[in-house]
Amino acid sequence: GDSVTQMEGPVTLSEEAFLTINCTYTATGYPSLFWYVQYPGEGLQLLLKATKADDKGSNKGFEATYRKETTSFHLEKGSVQVSDSAVYFCALLGYGGATNKLIFGTGTLLAVQP
Amino acid sequence: NAGVTQTPKFQVLKTGQSMTLQCAQDMNHEYMSWYRQDPGMGLRLIHYSVGAGITDQGEVPNGYNVSRSTTEDFPLRLLSAAPSQTSVYFCASMWDRNTEAFFGQGTRLTVV
């Protein structure tokens, strides 16, 4: 079945460092791909998305490109801030019979130190 | 905008007790889902619904029941609580496959 694999955390960075969180997926057809963020004590909220191959999603300085050839959707940010500290989830929404099953990775905790 | 509302926020149950976690959305979304979040496991899909009267199982449905009698509400029932069901539960809704999922604030459930 469909699945998402993302790098384990925690990831600890200093402010203004470059961030990469790896995400790869397994799915049939052409899924939509998402990054969600969860701040402490809150529910998840959408950070960015891409619905077809080669699309780049971006928001708040974060970017991710849908790479079908490598089945990847890595999250990047050029300069992280303390306020970016949160748990980041990669997710996919299947195409076809599992159209409405939003499948998540295990999450990556990011801690940014001043 | 209320969005997705979950109640209660916290609950402690004894083993064997039953209870219902409530989820309501006011965005007229057809698609609703329940997830549980456990350390190191991410979010796992319990049950989902693509519209009133239609539900289906996710990855971890055992021990849980759902129904969808209205577009707005999607309650999750624990039939006989077990310690393994200690978790944080999230309800989510979305308009369609290309729009974002909106999440509730979560219910932290402890089964003793």
Nearest to B103 among A44, A95, A99 (CB): A44
Task: Please say if the pLDDT value at position A98 is more than 80.
Answer: no
Interface of B with A in 68-107 (CB under 8 A): 90, 92, 94, 97-98, 100-101, 103-106
Tell me B59's DSSP state.
S
Query: Measured between CA atoms, how close is B112 to chain A, in angstroms?
Result: 22
- Cβ atoms B63, B86 nearer than 8 A: no
pLDDT of residue A70: 95
Query: Measured between CA atoms, how close is B73 to chain A, in angstroms?
Result: 17
Residues of chain B with C-beta less than 8 angstroms from the C-beta of A25? none
In chain B, the residue whose alpha carbon lies closest to the alpha carbon of A50 is B98
Nearest to A104 among B43, B98, B100 (CB): B43
> Can the peptide bond before residue A40 be classed as cis, meaning omega within 30 degrees of 0?
no
What is the average pLDDT across A38-46?
89
Distance in angstroms (rounded) separating the CA atoms of residues B4 and A66: 29
The reply to whether residue B103 touches residue A45, judged by beta carbons under 8 angstroms, is yes
In chain A, the residue whose alpha carbon lies closest to the alpha carbon of B106 is A43
pLDDT of residue A42: 85
Nearest to B42 among A34, A99, A106 (CB): A106
In chain A, the residue whose alpha carbon lies closest to the alpha carbon of B51 is A100
HSE of B66, CA atoms in CB hemisphere, 13 A: 30
Tell me the average pLDDT of chain A.
91
Task: Please say if the pLDDT value at position B97 is more than 90.
Answer: no
pLDDT of residue B48: 92
Task: Find, among B65, B103, B30, the residue nearest to A46 by Cα.
Answer: B103
The reply to whether residue B42 touches residue A89, judged by beta carbons under 8 angstroms, is yes
Task: Find, among B2, B79, B3, the residue nearest to B47 by Cα.
Answer: B79
- Cβ atoms B4, B24 nearer than 8 A: yes
Nearest to A99 among B35, B97, B104 (CB): B97
Task: Find, among B6, B29, B1, the residue nearest to B99 by Cα.
Answer: B29
Task: Please say if the pLDDT value at position A21 is more than 90.
Answer: yes
Helix (H, G, I), strand (E, B) or coil at A32: strand
Q: Which residue has the higher pLDDT, B111 or A101?
A: B111
What is the average pLDDT across A9-25?
96
- Bridge partners (DSSP) of residue A14 are A113
